[in-house]
Amino acid sequence: MTERLHPLSMLIFFLFTIILPAFTGNPYFYILSIIIGLIMLFNTLPLSNVLKSIPGYLLLFVLISCFNPLFYHDGDTILFYLNGKRVTLEALAYGMNSALMVIGVLIWCRIFTHFYTSDKIMYLFGTFSPKTAIIISMVLRLVPLYREHIGTYRNTQKLLGIFGEGTFFEKIQAEFKIFGGFLTWLLEHSMTTSDSMTARGYGVAKRKAYKLFTFKLSDALICCITAVASGYIIYAIITGAFSTVFYPSLILPTFSVKSIVAFLLFGIVSVTPTVRDIIYRLICRTTTAPKKP
């Protein structure tokens, strides 16, 4: 049901969930964004795919959290000394806060790339900026294609007994051979694509867009709710409702009426597509269920 939203309303929704939390600087806001993002991931992707990505998020959290106190030594609370350099609680807390922000953005970007396909990009940007639309859609299409092609090259080398055996330097040399073959194919593929677009008359005349989507009442409601929530959260950010102090001493943010209302608005807007999907599935299940005689 989420993929049936209009591209404009979907773009506004994902800009709200990806960009706006990053400017709050509030760890509680980041945790809320991650929780709702994981719920939407479990509702969107297969369970095995989501479970496989969780260790990567945890590893990223540990790396970013440990990176900051090792290179920045500001703060009053000293935890221990490492090679004569002090490791402070404030630097560790700042690194953990940054890690939460990065993970939340990555989760929502993954959801965005799943729903926002190339046809939506072409529809939304193709009328007034066809070159931008074709570049974005080609990037979204060619990156998975190139990854798959490199995997095909590597599997072929393994079957021939060239790749996967030998010393460490021989494996590196095999990787360079694979990359060289892939680069040759990439240049040939780019020329073929360019000639194909030229032969089909791309860019010769003014482009006409086929209207594949319709802006419905549900799209208007999502846009209005997102706009209202965005305005209030921006107001809360400006007035310091999410302020968190890390240096010179750690002061965690306190809950206020403004922050609680902002949390509720963000939560309501973020879970709206998931709730719509669940309601749609329940309606389809009840309508398609066989009636008892």
pLDDT grade for 128, boundaries at 50, 70 and 90: low
Taking a C-beta distance cutoff of 8 angstroms, is the pair 274, 43 a contact? yes
> 203 lies in a domain?
no
The answer, yes or no, to whether the previous bond of 27 is cis (omega within 30 of 0) is no
4-46 residue pLDDT tens: 778 888 888 888 988 888 888 888 999 999 999 998 888 888 8
Instruction: Give the contacts of 5 (CB within 8 A, at least 6 positions apart).
Output: 13, 218, 219, 222, 273
> 234 lies in a domain?
yes
Q: DSSP H helical segments within 165-256, as ranges?
A: 168-199, 217-238
Domain housing 217: 2-127+209-288
User: What's the pLDDT at 210?
Assistant: 58
User: What's the pLDDT at 112?
Assistant: 87
More confident residue, 291 or 83: 83
Question: DSSP assignment of 239-254, as one string?
Answer: TTTT--B-SSS-BPPP
pLDDT grade for 231, boundaries at 50, 70 and 90: very high
Taking a C-beta distance cutoff of 8 angstroms, is the pair 123, 209 a contact? yes
Number of domains forming the structure of the chain: 1
Helix (H, G, I), strand (E, B) or coil at 82: strand
> 137 lies in a domain?
no
Radius of gyration of the chain (CA): 24
Burial-class residue 188 by CB neighbours within 10 Å (0-12, 13-18, 19+): exposed
Return mean pLDDT, the chain: 81
Helix (H, G, I), strand (E, B) or coil at 75: coil
Question: DSSP assignment of 27-72, as one string?
Answer: HHHHHHHHHHHHHHHHHHS-HHHHHHHHHHHHHHHHHHHHHHHHH-
> 138 lies in a domain?
no
Taking a C-beta distance cutoff of 8 angstroms, is the pair 68, 90 a contact? no
User: What's the pLDDT at 77?
Assistant: 82
Going along 41-154, which residue ranges are E strands? Answer: 78-82, 85-88
> 20 lies in a domain?
yes
Identify the residue whose tokens are 């996967």.
164
More confident residue, 82 or 94: 94
> 157 lies in a domain?
no
> 195 lies in a domain?
no
pTM for the full predicted model = 0.72
User: What's the pLDDT at 195?
Assistant: 82
> 9 lies in a domain?
yes
Q: Is the confidence at residue 55, as pLDDT, over 80?
A: yes
User: What's the pLDDT at 184?
Assistant: 84
